[in-house]
Amino acid sequence: MSSGVVAKGWAGTSSRWLLLGGCAIYVVLFWLHGLSLRIGQLSTITIGWVVIVTVANMALDHFVYDVQFPLPKWLAALAALLLLVYLFAGRNDSNG
């Protein structure tokens, strides 16, 4: 989410600091993705990241850029988050 904001800022200003900041954010996110693979399978972790980034981008667009999403899109985002929680909760319960 924050890397998209930095990329948008860099596209408008061509600031080297924003470019370096965006690159640093991508490196940190890649490192966190690698660390998260210790607790789950690649497919589960990747789906989780996609859901979290998508919902975070929707929230950012709504609250910062005043984009109005229809109610069904918010409900779909909520359902995706709930299914993600169910997926991880079910995994932890079965492993004891």
Spell out the domain ranges in the chain: 1-36, 39-96
7-53 pLDDT, tens digit each: 777 777 777 887 788 788 888 888 988 888 888 888 888 888 888 88
- Tokens, residue 71: 């109610």
- pLDDT over threshold 90, residue 79: yes
Buried b (16+ CB within 10 A) or exposed e, 54-90: ebeebeeeeeeeeeeeeeeeeeebeebeeebeeeeee
Q: Is 49 helix (H, G, I), strand (E, B) or coil?
A: helix
Single pTM value for the model:
0.68
